[in-house]
Chains A and B, each alone.
Chain A
């Protein structure tokens, strides 16, 4: 029993090894996801994504989201579970699974992301509140950063 997984993909003009680094290394994760990321590239390890209060995520009281790394197959597959309440182990009943899949293309890498089990996250009061907050922050950050990037590219800056 599961809701339809969410699947998105994008074509990136960079080799899979570079994309792999961006999605798994904390210093890069802070550029596209949470303000801070603590995680190891080792299956079964626990980590955390942190959104600082008043950080780039905009408003809100700050947020620490526990994650557990599920699969590490550089530079092809990376997955983790999140949304489970702090202090509990994630399972398919209390967390959502996020999978990144990288495939080579003629001029770069296709990056696919699949998030499944969202209905499991929305059942838990705590997890749901966190999920919601992260959700809304992500939306704001997305818009703000898109504008920044566009402005930076217009000025000819790579980053």
Chain B
């Protein structure tokens, strides 16, 4: 079952397309909740760059920000992350299936070439 629309799926892939953006997402996952400033402290990029990536991640719903006084605290939206993971997992599961079949075929051919099977 494909739970998300094609357009949404596209936007998700695109959001993941940047390695730095994935690092921002990972850092946010580790921290649980963070501001642009605290996120930038643990990453080799500027606060402005972090803010830019957060905008993209926010647009596809992977993170959400909540205003607390003067600062905005961001957190990963786990459901959305699951959607993205599912999408990757579907492709991975498919290769697992194919590899398993390749293994069985190659091993059965191997038995054949060595006589009785």
Residues of A within 8 A of B (CB): 1-4, 6, 8-15, 18-19, 21-23, 28, 31-33, 109, 111, 113, 115, 118-119, 122-123, 128, 132, 135, 138-139, 141-143, 145-146, 149, 158-159
Report which of B92, B106, B117 forms a contact with A6, defined as CB distance below 8 A.
B92
Report which of A8, A21, A122, A158 forms a contact with B108, defined as CB distance below 8 A.
A158
Chain B interface mostly: helix
Report which of A21, A132, A139 forms a contact with B109, defined as CB distance below 8 A.
A21
Instruction: Say yes or no for B59: interface residue by CB 8 A criterion.
Output: no
Assuming A31-B101, A111-B103, A143-B97, what are 11 further A-B pairs, CB within 8 angstroms? A4-B16, A6-B95, A12-B106, A14-B110, A32-B102, A113-B99, A122-B13, A142-B97, A142-B100, A146-B97, A158-B117
Instruction: Say yes or no for B3: interface residue by CB 8 A criterion.
Output: no
Report Cα–Cα, A15/B92, bound state, in Å. Answer: 25
On whether the beta carbons of A139 and B93 are closer than 8 Å, the reply is yes
Q: Can you name 21 A-B residue pairings with CB atoms under 8 Å?
A: A3-B17, A6-B91, A10-B100, A11-B103, A12-B107, A14-B109, A14-B110, A18-B110, A22-B102, A22-B105, A22-B109, A33-B98, A115-B95, A118-B91, A135-B90, A139-B94, A139-B97, A146-B100, A158-B108, A158-B112, A159-B108
Interface positions of B from 23 to 65, Cβ below 8 Å from A: none
Instruction: Place the interface of chain B in its size category.
Output: 35 or more
Interface positions of B from 63 to 117, Cβ below 8 Å from A: 88, 90-113, 117
Report Cα–Cα, A135/B22, bound state, in Å. Answer: 25
Residues from chain A with Cβ under 8 Å of B105 in the complex? 22, 28, 31-32, 159
On whether the beta carbons of A119 and B17 are closer than 8 Å, the reply is yes
Report Cα–Cα, A2/B97, bound state, in Å. Answer: 24
Report Cα–Cα, A5/B55, bound state, in Å. Answer: 24
The chain B residue with its CB closest to the CB of A1 is B17
- Scoring B95, B99, B105, B107 by chain A CB atoms within 10 A of each residue's CB, the highest score goes to B105
Within the complex, the shortest CB–CB distance from A93 to chain B, in Å, comes to: 12
Within the complex, the shortest CB–CB distance from A74 to chain B, in Å, comes to: 14
On whether the beta carbons of A1 and B16 are closer than 8 Å, the reply is no
On whether the beta carbons of B10 and A138 are closer than 8 Å, the reply is no
Within the complex, the shortest CB–CB distance from B65 to chain A, in Å, comes to: 24
Given contacts A6-B92, A111-B99, contact A14 B106 (CB under 8 A): yes
Residues from chain B with Cβ under 8 Å of A32 in the complex? 98, 101-102, 105
